[in-house]
Amino acid sequence: MSLSADIVDHSPHPLAGRVMTGAEMVVQVLADEGVDTIFGYSGGAILPIYDAVFRYNQEHGAAMPLIVPANEQGAGFMAAGYARASGRVGVAMVTSGPGATNMVTPVRDSMADSVPMVVVCGQVPTTAIGTDAFQEAPVPSIMGAVAKHVFLVTDAAKLEATVRTAFEIARTGRPGPVVLDIPKDVQNWRGVFQGAGRLPVPGYRQRMNRLEASRLPASACEAFFAALGRAERPLVYAGGGVVNGEASAALREFVETLGIPVVTTLMGIGAVDTTHPLSMRMLGMHGAAFANYAVEDCDALIAIGARFDDRVAGTPQRFAPRARFLAHLDIDASEIHKVKRVDWHHVGLLPVALGTLLAYARTHGFARDWSAWHAHCAELRTRHAMNYDRDSAAIQPYYVIEEINRLTRGEAVIATGVGQHQMWAAQYFDFRQPRLWLTSGSMGTMGFGLPAAIGAQFAARKRLVIDVDGDASIRMNIGEMETVTTYNLPVKVVVLNNCGDGMVKQWQKLFHKGRLSASDKSLHTKDFVKAALADGFKYAVRLDRKEDVPRVVAEFVGFDGPAFLEVMIDQDAGVYPMVGPGQSYQEMITGDFIPSRSAVDVKPPGASEMF
């Protein structure tokens, strides 16, 4: 993300020189940064800023509405959903103490998935800090471990510059969440609004300027294409950095021009059109079998905005075993060689780097005939296509998603919770563009889907937004059902109900001899439809007959306004393919309906393996 946009306009701010409270300065800087929606919950230590927001909206015609969730965690995920769907900085605003601590999970979630967010926390007055005052929490200590940066503002004269700097840090480089901890007396302080200025953070700006100035020299391009030219089966492995770095268009041009097939990570979904012939869809633990087999077969792998994480690389030394050339392009130097050593790398802005490589290829007439590899990939897609028991009398979750996808045609925003439904959505939905797929990747946070969908609807007001959730995951933040109807958002919520923690049950069946310890919720008495009706949903339906699926799904998707659909799915439906922890793609379990290359023995993970 370029810094240049921050320094072009040198004209004086129209309000420069005006005396304001600290709270008013915060709100004015938010407006200057283009914030059009704030998500948050009020409380004593944040009241001055909340009052300033109220007065700003009175004066400017509700230009910056404040959306109130049921819980502060919901506000954080709404801000994250807004940011993920738009690429802009999401803003959450909460009070001190429990308000701030309820934001820890969304902040960590956003840090793990590189999501730009600014969180404004109220804090007890500066004189009370450290006294265990009412609703005091050590926000810098807590958030410092999970955020990109934290500011505790004790010098009121630096407040205005600090807020601007928070936005700069959140959106530049590898994006992430920045937390502003603002004591109440600093909010009430009065001073002169400067209308410009940032904190001196020379080390950070030097790194960002080096990153922006980083260019691929001709010698690096020559080495890249010399190695690529020797490849017969090249493959691009694209991650969330492509989406976060606004590099999707550049990647699409790069692979289409050169004719290189692409696999994406969970976070990279949408970086390329999933319906494109070069798309091999998602790789990894629950990636498509054909995607994983393509990784097994490739002889050159180009990682772009990806980090070889455990859900993809599994056992790093056995990942892409036939690749004689490994290249890695990323915005973050710390990712290079972190998990797997590569033969060629570049750290810089991805759109610039991809554009430079493509320009070199065109100038030097680089072209290779990879038609045999294309045919091989097409055969993999056909032979090892996603599939399930289509004759089952029970409703299969894959069938429900296929029906929704048939109507939305890859153009809807899909948010998910975490669990089996998340993987089914990743596997069976199409995504024609980036920023249509919103999910908690690295943190795997249950309860993410519904509030993220709410935030996304504010960011993409004309888009169809659907939360695909599970009965266990939606319980985590089910209070936000009322938020949907309070603001009359046309969000569609579908709960795939398998009466429990489906992914945990799958692991227990595979690796713990079917002992469903604390994961079976078949005896729970929650009536989701009645809950939705109580929260104001005019459309709230339970679907439990397979023959009704096409009709009910069409009603649900087409309903004008908020809609809720509970689907009673096959409780034994599993997520396949599956690569067990510590195992390679060669040992991938494909289930009963996706052909495998070879028989695989299901082996339990080792004692030290991750979930």
Q: Which residues of 130-164 are buried (b: 16+ CB within 10 A; e: fewer)?
A: eeeeebbbebeebbeebbbbbbbbeebeebbbbbb
444's torsion region: left (phi>0), alpha (psi -120 to 50) or beta? left
Catalytic residue (choose from 24, 33, 72, 566):
72
Q: Which residues contact 436 (CB under 8 A, 6 or more apart)?
A: 85, 270, 410, 411, 412, 413, 414, 463
Do 380 and 290 form a contact (C-beta atoms < 8 A)? yes
- 147 φ, ψ to 5°? -105, 165
Residue 59: active-site member: no
Task: Select from 255, 247, 361, 360 the least CA-distant residue to 305.
Answer: 247
Q: What is the C-alpha to C-alpha distance for residues 423 and 285, in angstroms, rounded to an integer?
A: 10
Residue 184: active-site member: yes
Look up residue 243 and give its two tokens.
């989406």
Q: Does the bond joining 577 to the residue before it have cis omega, within 30 degrees of 0? A: yes
Angle at 400 between CA 237 and CA 383, to 5 degrees: 45
Catalytic residue (choose from 78, 285, 476, 503):
503
Look up residue 436 and give its two tokens.
């249509």
Catalytic residue (choose from 184, 492, 505, 521):
184
H-type alpha helices, 512-548 = 528-534
Residue 503: active-site member: yes
* Coil, strand or helix at 561: coil
Residue 333 identity: A
* Coil, strand or helix at 296: helix
Look up residue 160 and give its two tokens.
């205005």
* Coil, strand or helix at 67: strand
The 10 Å Cβ neighbour count of residue 603 is 13
Catalytic residue (choose from 135, 194, 433, 586):
135
Q: Are strands 19-21 and 190-192 parallel, antiparallel or unpaired?
A: antiparallel
Q: What is the C-alpha to C-alpha distance for residues 134 and 146, in angstroms, rounded to an integer?
A: 24
Angle at 299 between CA 294 and CA 304, to 5 degrees: 75
Residue 70 identity: A
Look up residue 551 and give its two tokens.
């009709």
Residue 72: active-site member: yes
SS3 content of the chain, % helix, strand, coil (to 5): 40, 15, 45
Residue 338: active-site member: no
Q: What is the C-alpha to C-alpha distance for residues 433 and 243, in angstroms, rounded to an integer?
A: 10
End-to-end CA distance of the chain: give it in Å, rounded: 34
Kindly list the catalytic residues: 72, 134-135, 184, 503
